[in-house]
C-alpha cells in the first residue's frame, strides 16, 4: 500500500472532503478518488459509503481507520526518533494547550527552550480541554497544557502553577467599583460559563456550591474570551482567569469587564503538563518536558506584574 494514499484515506476518514483532501495534497480530485478506490480493492471491502457529496466510513472503514491511525502514528514517531538520533538538536515538539495559556504561559516556555535548543521546532495547537485530551490520546501531540488533572488512566499529569479565578462583572455593574467580592453576593445573578464537559464549567459549579448556591447559567460558550466579551456586554457574570492582555475599547465595543478578587471561597485552578504514561518520548520532547517542569513554576502572568486588579 502507498503510504501517501493511506494519509489521503486518513484525511477523508477524519472528515475532510475529497475535494479538500485533493487540494491539500496538490493532486486532482479524480486522482485521489481513484487512489481511494484502489485502496478499497487492496483491503477487499468498501471503506466508504457515499451520501450526496459526502463520504462516510463503513464499519470496515472505521475499523481500518482506527488501526491505520495507530500505524501511522508509530511510523511518524519512528521517523522522529531516527532524525533525533542522527541530530539530537534538530527535533520537533508537538504541543497542545488551552486558548488562554497562549497569551502568557506558552510563549516564555517555548522561547526559553529554543534559546538553549535553537534548531528545535514546535507544532502548536490551541483547543478546549476535551479536544486537547483527545489529541494527546490519539498521538497527535506529545504534551498538553491544561487545567486540572485529566483523570485518565493512560495520562500522567504534573501541576505547574495555580492560577486564580476572578469574578468578571460588567463595568457598570453594582459591584463594578469594588476590588473584592464574596461569591455569595452574586448568587442571584445570571452566570455565563463554558459548556458542560469543560473543566472550568465543573469548577465554577463546585465553587458556587461552596459559596452556598447553584449558579443560574444563562449563556454557554466554548472559549473564555467569548465569555469575557459577553460579561462586558452586560449579559451576566462569570468566574474567569485574569485578563493577561490589556483590553481595548472603542465606540463600537462595550467597556471591558471588571475583574474582582473573590474572598469567601478559594477560587483558583491548577495548571499542569500531561503526557501519555506508557508512550516513549523522543529526545526533543523529553528535553522539553524537563524544561517545562523546571521553569514553569517561576513564570508570573503579566497581569500580576503590572499590578492590575
130 SS3 class = helix
- Residue 111 neighbours by CB under 8 Å, 6+ apart: none
Per-residue model confidence (pLDDT) at position 88: 63
CA-to-CA distance for 136 and 155, rounded, in angstroms? 9
Q: DSSP 3-state assignment of 167?
A: strand
Closest to 309 (Cα-Cα) out of 226, 227, 242: 242
Q: Find out if CATH 1.10.10.10 is the number for domain 3-72.
A: yes
CA distances from 253 to 171, 220, 225, 250, 256 (A): 12, 20, 14, 5, 8
CA atoms within a 13 Å half-sphere pointing along the CA-CB vector of 8: 28
Question: Using CA atoms, how far apart are residues 257 and 241, in angstroms rounded to an integer?
Answer: 12
Kindly state the cell numbers that stand for 92. 520537533
pLDDT at site 132? 93
Q: What does the mean pLDDT of the chain come to?
A: 88
**Looking at residue 309, what is its pLDDT?**
44
pLDDT at 306: 42
Q: How much is the average pLDDT of 36-64?
A: 89
Helix 283-295 / helix 59-86 crossing angle, nearest 10 deg: 80
Confidence of residue 86 (pLDDT cuts 50, 70, 90): low
Long-range own/partner contacts, residues 212-215 (CB < 8 A, 24 or more apart): 212/184, 212/187, 213/184, 213/187, 215/191
Q: What's the grid cell of residue 257? A: 469587564
Where residue 288 falls (left for φ over 0; alpha for ψ -120 to 50; beta otherwise) is alpha
Examine the pLDDT at 162 and tell me if it is beyond 70. Answer: yes
Q: Where are the alpha helices (DSSP H) in the chain?
A: 3-13, 18-25, 29-43, 59-86, 106-116, 129-137, 199-210, 224-232, 283-295, 302-306
Comma-separated ranges of CATH 1.10.10.10 domains in the chain: 3-72
Q: Which residues of 216-241 are buried (b: 16+ CB within 10 A; e: fewer)?
A: ebebbbebbeebbbbbbeeebbbbbb
Residue 1's pLDDT is 67
Q: Note the CATH number of domain 166-266.
A: 3.40.190.10
| Residue 223 pLDDT > 90 | no
Tell me the pLDDT tens digit for each residue of 229-250: 999 999 999 999 988 755 444 4
pLDDT at 75: 84
Q: 179 pLDDT exceeds 90? A: yes
58 pLDDT exceeds 70?
Answer: yes
Q: Which of 118-132, 205-219, 294-308 has the lowest mean pLDDT?
A: 294-308
Task: Output the 3-class SS for 272-291.
Answer: EEEEECCCCCCHHHHHHHHH
For CATH 3.40.190.10, the residue range(s) in the chain are 87-162+271-306, 166-266
**Residue 297, class by beta-carbon neighbours within 10 Å (0-12 exposed, 13-18 middle, 19+ buried)?**
exposed
Query: What class, spelled out in words, does domain 87-162+271-306 have in CATH?
Result: alpha beta
Point out the least confidently predicted range of 74-88, 186-200, 231-245. Answer: 74-88
**Residue 197, pLDDT score:** 78
**Structural contact between residues 292 and 142, judged by C-beta atoms closer than 8 angstroms:** no
Amino acid at each position: 500500500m502507498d503510504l501517501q494514499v493511506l494519509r489521503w484515506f486518513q484525511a477523508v476518514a477524519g472528515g475532510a472532503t475529497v475535494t479538500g483532501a485533493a487540494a491539500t495534497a496538490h493532486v486532482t480530485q479524480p486522482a485521489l478518488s481513484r487512489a481511494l478506490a484502489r485502496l478499497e480493492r487492496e483491503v477487499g471491502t468498501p471503506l466508504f459509503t457515499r451520501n450526496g457529496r459526502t463520504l462516510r466510513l463503513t464499519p470496515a472503514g472505521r475499523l481500518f481507520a482506527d488501526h491505520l491511525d495507530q500505524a501511522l502514528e508509530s511510523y511518524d514517531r519512528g521517523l522522529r526518533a531516527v532524525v533525533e538520533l542522527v541530530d539530537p538538536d534538530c527535533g520537533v515538539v508537538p504541543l497542545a494547550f488551552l486558548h488562554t495559556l497562549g497569551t502568557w504561559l506558552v510563549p516564555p516556555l517555548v522561547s526559553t527552550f529554543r534559546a538553549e535548543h535553537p534548531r528545535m521546532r514546535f507544532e502548536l495547537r490551541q483547543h478546549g480541554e476535551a479536544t486537547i485530551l483527545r489529541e494527546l490520546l490519539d498521538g497527535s501531540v506529545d504534551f498538553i497544557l491544561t487545567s486540572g488533572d485529566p483523570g485518565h488512566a493512560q495520562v500522567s499529569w504534573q501541576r505547574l502553577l495555580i492560577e486564580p479565578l476572578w469574578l468578571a462583572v460588567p463595568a457598570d455593574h453594582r459591584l463594578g467599583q469594588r476590588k473584592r467580592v464574596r461569591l455569595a453576593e452574586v448568587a442571584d445573578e445570571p452566570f455565563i460559563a463554558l459548556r458542560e464537559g469543560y473543566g472550568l464549567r465543573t469548577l465554577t459549579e463546585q465553587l458556587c456550591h461552596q459559596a452556598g448556591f447553584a449558579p443560574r447559567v444563562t449563556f454557554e460558550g466554548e472559549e473564555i474570551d467569548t465569555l469575557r466579551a459577553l460579561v462586558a456586554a452586560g449579559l451576566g457574570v462569570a468566574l474567569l482567569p485574569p485578563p493577561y492582555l490589556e483590553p481595548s475599547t472603542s465606540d463600537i465595543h462595550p467597556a471591558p469587564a471588571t475583574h474582582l478578587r473573590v474572598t469567601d471561597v478559594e477560587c483558583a485552578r491548577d495548571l499542569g503538563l500531561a503526557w501519555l504514561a506508557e508512550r516513549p518520548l523522543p529526545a526533543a520532547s523529553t528535553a522539553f518536558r524537563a524544561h517545562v517542569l523546571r521553569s514553569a513554576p517561576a513564570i508570573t502572568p503579566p497581569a500580576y506584574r503590572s499590578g492590575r486588579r
